[in-house]
A = this chain, B = another copy of it.
């Protein structure tokens, strides 16, 4: 790859901003790792507080304490966000990045919830804080593993789109059929409701809040289930094949004597004719 433009960017930050930025943004120093650990614990604690506050029994008993904690988390995360803005090599770049937006989202609802205490809806937005947990997953080998999965899913996105379009068409047809066969008196009150039932059935979730009552309805439902059974196999097959390709550890190098091209990554001699293989490039 060519040198990234980042490398050529002249760093004009004061020395203290550079040092602090290293602690906050990197984790290759002991201070950086401690910072990351403390941040992770804080993130988990703040998410946990949001969860606890939603339990009515606990809200009644510990409501004041949880409110105080909410203040604390909002203040700490605000300080952290400010420091990130100040010490980032390019503040604007950071503030527009995925994690920059997530970091901002994780403090805004705190302020709003504290100012307008009745707005329960912000509970959800506060849950966005958990996205920050991915900061941790970025470390070490986890990111690499995630990239294999992501790469496999991306490689099969066209197949998955076709598959989803087919499933949704089936859901519409089956939903409309069941609406006519079973009718509102058996719980299939409208086509959207019947489609909800069809999705519940095809995905094999099967709540049972709506279930067919008439013999014909049960017959159609049985067909739907067996169909869903076969359909379920398709995305699994797509993802499996993609994963198998994404992570295959083969070294493609042509043996100069016999032409064998697929070798194990640790092979030093051709397995077919015994010729020494060219050395692998230093990765």
Contact = CB atoms under 8 A, between A and B. Distances in A.
A154 to B, nearest CB: 13
A230 B160 contact: yes
B272 A259 contact: yes
A234 interface: yes
A165 interface: yes
Given A176-B123, A238-B243, A207 B204 contact: no
A51 to B, nearest CB: 5
B225 A199 contact: yes
Interface residues of A, number: 106
Given A238-B233, A239-B237, A145 B162 contact: yes
A164 to B, nearest CB: 7
B262 A269 contact: no
B191 A203 contact: no
Given A237-B236, A242-B237, A272 B262 contact: no
Interface stretch (A72-80, A84-92, A214-222): A214-222
Given A229-B232, A272-B260, A244 B244 contact: yes
Contacts of A165: 133-134, 137
A12 to B, nearest CB: 37
6 contacts: A47-B172, A124-B176, A127-B172, A241-B244, A264-B271, A274-B275
